[in-house]
Amino acid sequence: MATVGSIQVADLLIALGALGVDAPALRDRAGIVQSQLDDPAARIPAQAVVRVFDLAAAELDDPLVGAHALKHLRPRGPLFYHLLSGPDTRQAVRAYARFARVALDTLDVRFIERASHAELTFDPGEPALRASHNALDYIVAGNLAGMRAAIPGFVPLGVDLAHRESGAPGATEHAFGCPVRFDRRVSAVRLSLATLESRPLAANRLIAAQLEKMSQALLTTVTAATARERVANAVRQILAAGAAPQRTDVARRLHVSERTLQRQLEQEGLTFKELRDGVRAELSQALLSDRSMKVETVAHSLGFAEVASFSKAFARWSGGSPTTYRTSVAARTQPRLTSVRKHQRGDASPTRRARTR
Q: What domains, with CATH codes, occur in the chain?
A: 3-205 (3.90.1520), 224-333 (1.10.10.60)
Instruction: Please report the pLDDT score of residue 346 as a whole number.
Output: 55
Angstrom distance (rounded) from CA 128 to CA 130? 5
**For the segment 34-85, what is each residue's pLDDT rounded down to a tens digit?**
988 988 878 899 999 999 999 999 999 999 999 999 999 999 989 999 999 9
Cα separation of 69 and 169, whole Å?
Answer: 18
**Which tens digits make up the pLDDT trace of 166-209?**
999 999 999 999 999 999 999 999 999 999 999 999 999 999 99
Under DSSP, the state recorded for 218 is H
Cα Rg of the chain, angstroms: 26
Is the CB of residue 30 less than 8 Å from the CB of residue 53? no
Residues of the chain with pLDDT below 70 are: 224-225, 332-357
pTM of the full structure: 0.68
Q: What is the pLDDT of residue 256?
A: 76
User: HEC string of 192-206?
Assistant: CHHHHCCCCCCCCHH
* Separation between Cα atoms, residue 295 and residue 117, nearest integer Å: 60
Instruction: Give the per-residue pLDDT at 39.
Output: 84
